[in-house]
Homo-oligomer: A and B are copies of this chain.
Amino acid sequence: MSIVLGPNQYGKAENRVVRIYRDTDRHEIHDLNVSSALRGDFSAAHLTGDQTRVLPTDTQKQTVYAFAKEKGIGQIEDFALDLGRHFVNDTEPVEGCRIEIEEYVWERVSIARPDGTAQEHNHTWIRKGQETRTTILTIDVLGGDETLVSGFSNLVILKSTGSEFHDFLVDKYTTLAPTTDRVMATSLVARWRYVGTEIDWQASYDDIKALMIERFANVQSLALQQTLYAMGQVVLEQHPEVAEVKFSAPNLHHFVYDLAPFGLDNHNEVFNADDRPYGLIQATVMRDDAPPAGRAWDTVPGFV
């Protein structure tokens, strides 16, 4: 028996880079949280502390900010590709990498004109505050195998009817009452694996999100599992550039509050929004002929 180095990576996490475009009076803003991690043969650094082959995490940070100017920031998938290809192609010891980007969307403020119409402001925004758009680029081997897993986190969505839960398995620890009408809410994390890198990222993102929201709203739900499957299915049907969709969906319980002690009815009107525990449903919807994912999902947190 001997002791060996196993899988490893290192990088700089959470570079909070903001890029303003100010070529005209109407500015544009891109607000990102960028994390890089490099892979390759770094065994000397681990075994003997030899840093000869190690590009410092500080350099990775400098590169993120320099590229914000040199390459510019448009779609986060493109920025991830710019960074990832640079690290893998231009740094000899680096054989693969993981680039994760979160984007915080800002919405332009509108100011009322004297006539009551609204005018968008040139250089002032409020942070939109809903879901965070995400992408994770995995490059597995030098010169190839680029996989982008995009998606969003923390889309907090709720429906106040159109959700049932009944006819479930019962054992000796089951006390839950079945229901044909409940509140269903989640703080949804959705991630989808793209095939290829020549995609209209913004159009894909916007339409995938809209499709998911429509299904969440309109499917009569018998379980959160069924809703998620329907959401993934419609995305795969309409987006050939997507091979696979994964969801992690906490069931944010809204318990009907017991008002009987006070002689009050409560027909799904008053709820306690509870914090913990919460149900947690994780599911994958995929094409049966999806190309292999390689290591693309290995370090995507929160999925099965």
Contacts and interface: CB of A to CB of B under 8 A. Distances in A.
B274 A3 contact: no
A215 B273 CA distance: 36
A149 to B, nearest CB: 14
Nearest to A267: B22
Contact of A49 (B90, B222, B283): B222
Nearest to A229: B46
Given A4-B288, A56-B169, 9 more contacts: A3-B287, A10-B279, A51-B168, A55-B171, A62-B261, A62-B262, A65-B257, A68-B269, A106-B158
Given A42-B225, A270-B65, A288 B3 contact: yes
B277 A223 contact: no
22 contacts: A2-B288, A6-B284, A8-B282, A12-B277, A13-B278, A14-B277, A17-B272, A20-B183, A29-B158, A46-B225, A51-B166, A54-B223, A58-B175, A61-B277, A69-B269, A109-B217, A121-B218, A123-B160, A123-B161, A124-B216, A299-B303, A301-B302
A217 to B, nearest CB: 4
A203 interface: no
A180 interface: no
A289 B63 CA distance: 39
Contacts of A15: 272, 276-277
Interface string A211-229: 0011011100111011011
Contact of A173 (B14, B66, B265): B66
Interface of A: 1-22, 27, 29, 31, 35, 37, 39, 42, 45-59, 61-63, 65-66, 68-70, 90-91, 93, 106, 109, 111-112, 121, 123-130, 155-162, 165-176, 183, 210, 213-214, 216-218, 221-223, 225-226, 228-229, 232-233, 236-237, 244, 246, 250-251, 254, 257, 259, 261-262, 264-289, 298-299, 301-304
A6 B213 contact: no
Contacts of A285: 3-6
A157 B279 contact: no
A93 B244 contact: no
Contacts of A63: 173
A39 to B, nearest CB: 8
